[in-house]
Structure 1
């Protein structure tokens, strides 16, 4: 049995965290590996076990908190993990509660993990192109500030997502970004869009001084990551979702 691969960011030392891919899970077939997506057609028991393994690999004993992701710019505060059927519709979440592990699911979109260690406040955001241009990173920072974080202390990491070389878009897509800000033209090479670069720049423009991009392409590495676009291009019937996690360790007794 292979172990769960936990990819860590140098910007987040001291915060239990990890960008997980597909290694170390029990799902089979097109979804083989650590699929955690309840929206897939995977067996429920496999998803539950994969989620258990993911939590154990990053912060054993923690409660996993996720949201019903809708490609929005909505961010919410998490005081405790919600029951699966009662999760808020949002694409980012924030906590200052030890023992909670924030989880964001992706399959090409950019996962963003954030922390203000001094304030003891963490955040996680799902930044697909819709959420990114809509301001999901601004929203998660704003909620972190309500819990005592300061943007000049917040550090962030942008995890595995579809890379520019793999992300061809149409002219309407490009025109939308340039209409929002002419400077966004720098994130396009012809019809190839740099989602990771765009998300990183949104974070820096919001006042986050330290932003790390991991430069890992979900589309181009099928052994390591799930990818919606790759599954579509291959004509596969379904696709898995990987999870990115950040938490605060429980306080000593």
Structure 2
């Protein structure tokens, strides 16, 4: 049986999907995407409903509902306190972040690409979890498979969007370019928001072709499309 990647820190049913489940992106045109998503859900919380959002690289977080696929709100994070409802986000190099306050019975999931991370998508997720009864000092967060610093080349000007004290997340690359550590930046944002338990799995989607889809890898190869993995969390 195929199993998703798990985090040690999350005391709630969850999993970071891999390419072994197949493409889970509803916008990819893969007719098997719905069934593949269902397989991940069954591996994490059998019998649960799975819901998601229409991701747009924003900092918007919403309280999850079992929306029809064609009625998903445009957002990049969702939270719930509803047992039996799995929430999920898809990624293919961006950082999937799963959250849990087991005591309050509140969980969250965020899609943190560089734009969403910079804009505060993780902060928005934490704040919305608090409206459902979570407390940030109890929340654990895990950062799943995403593109690593060694694989994430950006142009020099990219770093100007970040605060001066964020320079430590960039290292020199070839002339005119830098290497960006998205995972470390997301972990920094979580810690700055008061999350004491932050687990970074350290898995590079670009480099680990055997286990993960990667938008950038597909682009570098000139491939017409790319797959997405889904990361889910819920309450029993």
Instruction: Give CA deviations for 1:152-176 in whole Å, capped at 9, x if unaligned.
Output: 0000000000000000001121121
Matched, 1:145 2:130: yes
Distance in 2, Cα, partners of 1:247 & 1:143: 16
3-state SS, counterpart of residue 226 of structure 1? coil
User: What do you get for the CA RMSD once the two structures are aligned?
Assistant: 0.8
Gaps of 5+ in 1: 26-33
**Counterpart for residue 26 of structure 2:** 38
1:182 aligned residue (164, 182, 195): 164
Distance 1:230 1:112 in 2: 21
Question: What does 1:48-59 align with in structure 2 at a 5 Å threshold?
Answer: 48-59=34-45
Confirm whether residue 100 of structure 1 aligns to residue 85 of structure 2: yes
The residue number in structure 1 matching 2:221 is 234
Distance 2:138 2:26 in 1: 35
Secondary structure at 2:153 match in 1: coil
Q: Tell me which of 118, 131, 147 is aligned to 1:162.
A: 147
State the TM-score, normalized to the length of structure 2.
0.96
**Cα distance in structure 2, aligned partners of 1:82 and 1:238:** 26
Unaligned stretches of 5+ residues in structure 2: 173-177
Give yes or no for contact 1:76–1:93 (8 Å, CA) kept in 2. yes
The 5-angstrom pairing of residues 74-223 of structure 1 reads 74-78=60-64, 80-177=65-162, 181-190=163-172, 191-223=178-210
Q: Secondary structure at the match of 2:142?
A: strand
Contact 2:26 2:34 in 1 (8 A): no
CA offset at residue 48 of structure 1?
Answer: 2.0
- Indicate if the aligned counterparts of 1:101 and 1:245 stay in contact, CA closer than 8 A: yes
2:213/2:228 contact within 8 Å kept: yes
Q: Is the 8 A contact 2:206 2:216 kept in 1?
A: yes
Q: Is this contact kept in 2: 1:17–1:58, CA < 8 A? A: yes
